[in-house]
Structure 1
Amino acid sequence: MSRIRIELPEQFPFATEITLYLIHMNYGGHLDNALLLTVVSEARARFFQSLGYTELDIEGVGIIVSDAALQYRSEAFHGEVMVVSMGAANFGSKGCDLLWRMNERSSNREVARGKTGIVFFDYTERKVTQVPESFRSRIEC
């Protein structure tokens, strides 16, 4: 069976720190696979906020997550501080990928990497719409 391989850029335009809480842990005592995506979702919201946007208002339209892929690199534990780096790439007419990497802050150990596909969505019209050109030119990796 082939495994997911995610190639990342050398540099990311954004990074944020997120502490792992007990609620993020599973029965094995490490970061739960489903809750990893909640950490990435928080980082995504902060990424857009750093640009002056929200997930519901990026140049007048919102986003919808269309797919997600991730690759684990090491365990993560309660109390560790994750540095989640993020950027946008692979633009199409209606969306793009948000590429991300999660490293433990003190050791710089890579915990996970991934990409989240997003499409732009007009919540008033209830339909997928074009990528705002000003967003694309501002953030593309």
Structure 2
Amino acid sequence: MARIKIDLPAVFPFSTQIPVRIQDINYGGHVGNDAILSIIHECRLQFLASAGYTELDKTTGIGLIMADVAVAYKGEGFHGDIFHVAVAAGEFSPFGFELFYYITTQRDAQTITIAEAKTGMVCFDYQQRKVAKLSAAMKTRLETGK
């Protein structure tokens, strides 16, 4: 069976800390795949906010829709872990971009890779209900994280 391979960027301009909550744990006793998606969503919102954007940008009328997601699970996360999530934007197109996520935790003085992921983001005009162009200003801010 073919495995997903995510080519992570060399530089991540943004990172955040996310504590693993008890509701993130599944019946296997570790962080569930649904929880990883929720954590990625939270980190995406924080990354966008750090660049001055939201998923539903009221100022420009142009928001974002997640078109796809790929997650490569690398290790187990447990209740009490603090996930360090690095986020970067890349693979820009006229209508969107990819967001990359690198999730690690520190345990027993070691860095454990939990997951690598990417989400395909498409610019969307919510008033007209159609795909919109990615502005040059947004591209620049997302590339640099500023």
Compute the TM-score of the two structures, normalised by the length of structure 2: 0.91
Q: CA deviation at 1:52?
A: 1.6
How many Å separate the matches in 1 of 2:58 and 2:68?
19
Structure 1 stretches of 4+ with a deviation exceeding 6 A read: none
- Structure 1 segments unaligned to the other structure (5+ residues): none
For residue 19 of structure 1, what is the aligned residue in structure 2? 19
How many Å separate the matches in 1 of 2:25 and 2:67?
26
For residue 133 of structure 1, what is the aligned residue in structure 2? 136
For residue 7 of structure 1, what is the aligned residue in structure 2? 7
Quick one: which of 121, 125, 133 aligns to 1:122? 125
RMSD of equivalent CA atoms: 1.4
Greater fraction strand: 2
- Structure 2 segments unaligned to the other structure (5+ residues): none
Matched ranges for 1:97-116 at <5 A: 97-105=98-106, 107-116=110-119
Q: CA deviation at 1:105?
A: 3.9
Matched AA of 2:14: F
How many Å separate the matches in 1 of 2:31 and 2:130?
35
Q: CA deviation at 1:58?
A: 7.9
Partner SS, residue 10 of structure 2: coil
Compute the TM-score of the two structures, normalised by the length of structure 1: 0.95
Partner SS, residue 44 of structure 1: helix
The aligned length equals: 141
